[in-house]
Amino acid sequence: MRIPRIRNARPAKAAAVLAVVAGAIFASVLPSSADVSAQSPSQTGIRVQSPAERLARGAALRVELTIVCPAGWSNYANVRVTQRVGPGIASGSGYTPITCTGGLQTLTVSVHAEEHPFRVGTAYASAYTSTGSGQVSDEREIAIVRS
């Protein structure tokens, strides 16, 4: 007599978890009323986007940031990127001015290589800006791609 096999339940579990997470993200993005969406955000947030574009054979990168901050507020967004290149480290930094609209904005920052050129691959990026009450930042691995 042959014993029937029980199929792996992991795909179903993964789908259920994904559905719950997607629903939570969707609910957190939607405003609860029209009045809420018309108001400026009271807090500032920043996020490094991936991928970054490699420029001038690695002499620089074009890095995009997404930022949200109160309308009328202005400052600078700073970015630093490091990448292992053979036995050395390619690194660079850049900044751009911010004039906030009160909504989600995308900024482009040029990051210039300091000693070694950047290569296509994985790098580590950090971005920050100062607020009236401190600093907001984001750090993550990003991909570097050809432009």
32: in domain? no
| 21 part of a folded domain | no
Contact 60, 111 (CB under 8 A): yes
Contact 78, 101 (CB under 8 A): no
Domain of 75?
40-146
**Backbone φ, ψ for residue 3 (5° rounding):** -90, 125
pLDDT, residue 130, reads 86
Residue 72 in any domain: the answer is yes
pTM confidence score = 0.70
Q: Answer whether residue 117 is part of any domain.
A: yes
**How does residue 133 score in pLDDT terms, banded at 50, 70 and 90?**
confident
Residue 126 maps to a domain: yes
Q: Name the nearest CA neighbour of 101 among 70, 66, 64, 77.
A: 70
Instruction: Determine the number of helices (DSSP H) and then strands (DSSP E) in the chain.
Output: 2, 8
State the CATH number of the domain containing residue 108. Answer: 2.60.40.2420
Task: Evaluate whether residue 122 is within a structural domain.
Answer: yes
Domain assignment present for residue 128? The answer is yes
Q: Say how many domains are in the chain.
A: 1
Does residue 12 form part of some domain? no
